[in-house]
């Protein structure tokens, strides 16, 4: 099961809760990597904490700006030596993605750039409301093409589009949020899937937040392992 990568979403600005999540998600049966998002990174102690963090982690910033500003943002993260993954948004366009990938090689040769497609909180109706005429599926495939051509290392999409992307891009990292254990509420997610079904769609890794971090974390990890078995 070590070949299944689980990214645990550390969605809190509370250091005690962060340490509790990191401590209780350590597991010999699963490959678990923490994902720190905007809430923690923007918090008073968040960035300093990540400067000193000793293990690989994912920094989920979803960078989306003009190319020069985007590469300046990447350059400002050069002290975060253990940051292994960082997210950039496909909406920034090919020039931004290419510029970020080029700068990342200079900043940290181990840093992998993940292009974010349509957020898992959105559906076809949501896209129409903001002016898109394509369906979620068609838009994600277009974004995947831009992400791949720009040289990014991977893509972030829902597990519902993952199979289509895998069929087209055999070696691309595909990481999927919007993951829920069987029977759980989808909450603010519109496109969700269970861990087992996501891996059946040949994803490289899945992102799990509340399903693991709410309540008894060790019991939740056991539920995940039982589910995957």
Residues designated as active site? 62
For 90, counting Cβ atoms within 10 Å of its Cβ (0-12 exposed, 13-18 middle, 19+ buried), the class is: buried
Q: How many CB atoms lie within 10 A of CB 91?
A: 14
- Pairwise CA distance, residues 157 & 144, whole Å: 9
Provide Rg for the chain, Cα atoms: 17
Name the token pair of 101.
Answer: 């990938």
108 touches 149 (CB < 8 A): no
Residue (of 2, 39, 42) closest to 21 by Cα position? 39
Q: How many residues does the chain have?
A: 229
- Pairwise CA distance, residues 178 & 226, whole Å: 19
Instruction: Say how far residue 37 (Cα) sits from the centre of its chain.
Output: 9
Q: Which residues contact 21 (CB under 8 A, 6 or more apart)?
A: 8, 10, 12, 34, 212, 213, 217
Name the token pair of 229.
Answer: 């078995």
């Amino acid at each position: 099961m070590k070949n299944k990568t689980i990214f645990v979403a550390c969605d809190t600005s509370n250091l005690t809760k962060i340490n509790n999540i990191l401590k209780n998600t350590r597991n010999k049966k699963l490959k678990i990597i923490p994902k720190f998002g905007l809430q923690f990174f923007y918090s008073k102690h968040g960035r300093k904490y990540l400067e000193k963090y000793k293990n690989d982690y994912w920094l989920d910033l979803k960078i989306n700006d003009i190319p020069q500003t985007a590469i300046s943002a990447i350059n400002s993260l050069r002290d975060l030596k253990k940051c292994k993954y960082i997210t950039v948004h496909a909406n920034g366009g090919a020039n931004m993605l290419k510029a970020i990938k080029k700068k990342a090689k200079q900043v940290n040769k181990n840093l992998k750039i993940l292009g974010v497609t349509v957020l898992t909180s959105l559906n076809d109706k949501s896209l129409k409301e903001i002016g898109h005429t394509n369906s979620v599926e068609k838009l994600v495939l277009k974004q995947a093409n831009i992400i791949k051509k720009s040289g990014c290392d991977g893509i972030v999409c829902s597990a519902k589009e993952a199979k289509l992307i895998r069929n087209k891009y055999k070696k691309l990292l595909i990481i999927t949020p919007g993951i829920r254990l069987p029977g759980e509420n989808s909450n603010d997610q519109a496109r969700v899937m269970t861990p087992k079904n996501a891996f059946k769609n040949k994803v490289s890794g899945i992102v799990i937040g509340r399903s693991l971090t709410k309540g008894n974390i060790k019991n939740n990890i056991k539920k995940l392992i039982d589910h995957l078995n």
